A and B are shown apart, each in its own frame.
Chain A
Amino acid sequence: MATKKFMYLNRKAPYGTVYALESLEVVLIAAAFEQDVSLAFIDDGVYQIIAGQNTDGIGMKNFSKTYNALGDYDINKLYVSEQSLSERGLSEADIMPIVYEDEDDDWAEKSSIKIVSNAELTKIMAEQDVCLSF
């Protein structure tokens, strides 16, 4: 099977709707097909990967820890819109650490998070074969 470039576009905050969790589940399923997968977090989607989420008070599963598993599935391109962060009073320091081990660099641990401008995101999106929106 030929490898295609898949981008998952995440635009919703977690918990209020089911989009964020559904996206993550589809990403993990798709990972099994060994495609070139990247994730983009724009608009309120940036809240999905904010550090320090605590769902004890709402009786829902805190699925933010699952993003840490993406590296094990060779998913290590998580693009975050700089503009969406700054509009919300957030910065890279507010994002949880999400890392992968680089097999081409003696398994060195590297960050999967890439803060990008909207112009960079435009370019990355244009390179995709498939964009799935959540």
Chain B
Amino acid sequence: MLHTVNKSSFERNSLQSCLDIIDEKSVILLLEDGVICAADNTKSSMLAQLAADGKVFALKGDVEARGISAKLAENIQLVDYSGFVDLVVEHGTAVSWL
């Protein structure tokens, strides 16, 4: 499954709720304010293991808009909109964590 998170982990618990539920076949795409979860900060440990497993993606345009391209945590994979489509096609059902 593909899980999308569009809220900052500093503002909502959307990412934590998502992490509490997802299985080992799932991947996470961070978009909109969710890309703040992809930055190297005091909450990075939440995603570190999944990212190391290659399961965390972030939407490039949203990362660049917020000026954090050079501030990302390790192993975050950037995708553009067509990459987003590829993730949807590859992983089937998508769940939005708003």
Please give the residue numbers on chain B whose beta carbons come within 8 Å of chain A beta carbons, in ascending order.
6-8, 10-11, 32-34, 36, 39-42, 44, 60-62, 64-71, 80
Contact = CB atoms under 8 A, between A and B. Distances in A.
Contacts of A44: 8, 10-11, 33, 36
A44 B32 CA distance: 13
Given A43-B11, A44-B33, A57-B80, A89 B42 contact: yes
Interface of A: 12-17, 43-44, 47, 50-58, 60, 62, 64, 86-90, 94
Nearest to A90: B71
A52 B33 contact: no
A50 B67 contact: yes
B71 A47 contact: no
A14 B66 contact: yes
B11 A58 contact: no
A88 B67 contact: no
Given A16-B32, A44-B33, A50-B67, A57 B62 contact: yes
Nearest to B64: A54
